[in-house]
Structure 1
Amino acid sequence: MTTTLTTDLNADAGESFGHWPLGDDARLFPLLTSVNLALGFHAGDPVTLHSAVRLARQHGLGIGAHPGYPDLAGFGRRELALTPPEIQAATLYQIGALQAFLTVEGGALQHVKAHGALYMRIHEDRAAGEAFCRAVQQLVPQAYLIVLAGAAGSDLALTAAAHGLRVRREAFPERAYTGDGRLASRQLPGSSIHDPAEAARRAVGMAQGWVQTLGGERLTLEVDTLCIHGDNPQAVAIAGAIRAALAEHGVTLARLHD
């Protein structure tokens, strides 16, 4: 079956820190259309960020800010008790770091997407979501805000719209979903998918507007972009398999656009 669908393929990247490499940006970036760059709080450092911006520009990728909690040891996946004003300030601070390198390299910011535990919190905590959206609106109001596809992202999408932000909806081919449309806890068996063929199969379904949950239910999703985690050991193989499967089903890959 062929379609006329278009989607974006993004990855969380730029996550190396000093002498400690993580991910394979050089091999991953050519397979993407957009990238979410770590900004030094959950991963990354200034040199890594600058290099990632240059690499993304070289491959014509849409560049996104990926702010997270200040939690290098926990990779930003642990919940921290930041207040809404602290979330707003931390978000401004991190986006500002990427803006500096984009100014130097001549690029533009395409989107903003929170990372890890902060990503989940702003979807579930209205005050945190307000603080995050306020920071984006203050600094980069032209950028897209990435939210979870489906009902799980609806509240944050409404908050973003109230701040005049354009929303794009995201799904994760290499993460499992619960029946309420949320990402399954990483503590659950099967929550992360490392088989490229399985991730590719799921990506095709997501591009067509659905996903199968851990419990076997079929959820309807409106999806604008598909995300690969750059720290997944199979990220490069998964990206390649997804590109091939989408092409086979007539799905075109393109950067986020209106």
Structure 2
Amino acid sequence: MNCDMGESFGAYKIGLDEEAVKYISSANIACGFHAGDPRVMAHTVDLAVTHGVGVGAHPSYPDLMGFGRRKMEVTPAEIKNYIIYQAGALQAFARVRGAKLQHVKPHGALYNAASVDKKIARAIAEAIYELDRDLIFMVLAGSEMESAAREVGLRYAREVFADRNYNSDGTLVSRSHPQSVIKDSAEAAQRMVEIITTGRIKAIDGTAFSVQADSICVHGDTPGAVEHMINLRRALEEAGIKVIPMGDFIK
């Protein structure tokens, strides 16, 4: 189970990191481009280390005002630099705390763009490989990011979302859609157990498609987030599914 964290900024607090970290196994920590700042980054790494949670970088487009959710027209070379800059900063915070950066997961619009754009996906994969070839690239299952990780020679973890609906092509339903987010905690938990045990996801139009899942994303800033996590963790454990950091099993 992974969660986007460290998205507070200055005097503004976002999310329930101190509670959420108790129920996850990997943290995607904002690196200052869409949210977060040096103080928040340091604090969030401390939280992850204290709770035995894998530390991951959550880089984005340089879009603090838009929370990284606006697509930007930038070159693959620029994207590589954005990734190295942000992940490298978080890597330093982890190192001085005796921890190791486990993974990199793009945020928001950058994640969505890389899911369907080969050049963007490749730029991110190359940046991660050049920074540290032992890092895990967290990718949307079945996306261009997964293909890029294989081509570059990176380890990768295929991700599915507990609280988001999917289109039939495997992409996430846009947040502008009223049904983009699944708000019922029990429904989200049961959905994830079915995905892991059957290898299939039901799309918003009623169709289904195959998927392999290594990690489940839960959002810490949605209504009832902690309840989502508690119910999901319980449902997984009752189904005999063990929750551990992805670095422990992704080879």
**Shorter-chain TM-score range:** over 0.9
Instruction: Give distance in 1, aligned partners of 2:55 and 2:238.
Output: 26
**Structure 2 match to 1:184:** 173
1:238 is aligned with what amino acid?
A: H
The higher relative CO (CA closer than 8 Å, separation ≥ 6) is in 1
Quick check: 1:236 aligned with 2:226?
yes
Structure 1 runs (4+) greater than 6 angstroms displaced: none
Instruction: Give distance in 1, aligned partners of 2:192 and 2:12.
Output: 30
SS in 2 for 1:30: coil
**1:63-97: CA deviation from partner (whole Å, max 9, x where unpaired):** 11110011111111111112111101111000111
Quick check: 1:132 aligned with 2:132?
no
Question: Within 5 A, what are the aligned runs for 1:11-26?
Answer: 11-26=3-18
SS in 1 for 2:21: helix
TM-score (norm 2): 0.95
Instruction: Give distance in 2, aligned partners of 1:180 and 1:125.
Output: 14
Quick check: 1:143 aligned with 2:132?
no
SS in 1 for 2:93: helix
Identity %: 44
**Structure 1 match to 2:110:** 118
Deviation at 1:20, TM superposition (A): 0.6
SS in 2 for 1:229: coil
2:13 is aligned with what amino acid?
A: P
Quick check: 1:59 aligned with 2:51?
yes
**1:80-132: CA deviation from partner (whole Å, max 9, x where unpaired):** 11211110111100011101101110101111110010001112221111211
Q: Which runs of 5+ in 1 are unaligned?
A: 1-8
Instruction: Give distance in 2, aligned partners of 1:82 and 1:235.
Output: 33
**Structure 2 match to 1:223:** 213
Superposition RMSD on alpha carbons, in Å?
1.1
Quick check: 1:211 aligned with 2:220?
no
Deviation at 1:218, TM superposition (A): 2.1
* Alpha-carbon contact 2:25-2:54 (below 8 Å) kept: yes
Tell me the number of residue pairs that the alignment of Structure 1 and Structure 2 aligns. Answer: 247
Q: Which runs of 5+ in 2 are unaligned?
A: none
* Alpha-carbon contact 1:36-1:65 (below 8 Å) kept: yes
Deviation at 1:203, TM superposition (A): 1.4
**Structure 2 match to 1:255:** 245
**1:140-181: CA deviation from partner (whole Å, max 9, x where unpaired):** 21011111113xx1x322221221201110000100001111
Question: Within 5 A, what are the aligned runs for 1:8-157?
Answer: 9-150=1-142, 153=143, 155-157=144-146
**Structure 2 match to 1:173:** 162
Deviation at 1:247, TM superposition (A): 1.3
* Alpha-carbon contact 1:36-1:64 (below 8 Å) kept: yes
Instruction: Give distance in 1, aligned partners of 2:113 and 2:223.
Output: 26
**Structure 2 match to 1:4:** none
* Alpha-carbon contact 2:162-2:218 (below 8 Å) kept: yes
Instruction: Give distance in 2, aligned partners of 1:102 and 1:39.
Output: 12
* Alpha-carbon contact 2:55-2:94 (below 8 Å) kept: no
Instruction: Give distance in 2, aligned partners of 1:71 and 1:87.
Output: 13
